[in-house]
Amino acid sequence: MRQTRARCVARGERQRWGAELAWLVGPFGLRAEYITDQSDLERTTGAGALPARPVESRLDLDGWYVMGSYWLTGEDDLYNKRPQVKAPLAPWSEEGGWGAVEVAVRYSEAHFDEDVFTSGLADSRVSSSEVNQWAGGANWWFNPFTKLTVDFYHNHFDDGVILDGVRERDESLIVTRFQIDF
């Protein structure tokens, strides 16, 4: 029997709003944000010889974070701007330096309305309606356009999620990234 996948698209009204705060003093930064979203969705169902039929749902979600950061090398924390690296990486030069180092920690939460499961948009057997995350990391800026990032994340899923066939409530991971901005 041939099966088709359900397809979900935004249809109808969508309301999204958020608020962001930032307090930046010299090398120290404190940021926080809250966002909420209410979207009308339409999911088509049908498998094999059964005709596809639309199922309408309303999905509510909200999330927030708070983050603190500090520049160990003394650069000023700037709002939505590249850092002004005081000593760009150039160890082979007498005037060069080792770049700039920023460390940060963050706590965040995201919540989905239980309707995400009752409407069939997600499967409660493998997904969770809430996740809480602790994160910490370091950014090594070689210059204002190039950086190496190392981050640690610890996620806690309220209802647990299926990872490699096993229900887990917690996962931890390390993510690295080398970025060139041009």
- Which CATH number is 160's domain given? 2.40.160.10
Diameter over CA atoms, the chain: 75
- 23 occurs within a structural domain: yes
Residue 2 lies in a domain: no
Task: Give CA–CA dist 30/32, Å, rounded.
Answer: 7
Q: What is the pLDDT of residue 55?
A: 62
Can you give the residue range of the structural domain that contains 102? 7-180
- Residue 1 included in any domain: no
What would the pLDDT profile of 43-62 be if each residue is shown by its tens digit?
666 555 555 556 667 788 99
Both tokens of 71, joined, read: 């520049």
Among 131, 111, 123, 122, smallest CA distance to 61 is for 111
pTM: 0.80
Is the pLDDT at 3 greater than 50? The verdict is: no
pLDDT greater at residue 3 or residue 147: 147
Total domains in the chain come to: 1
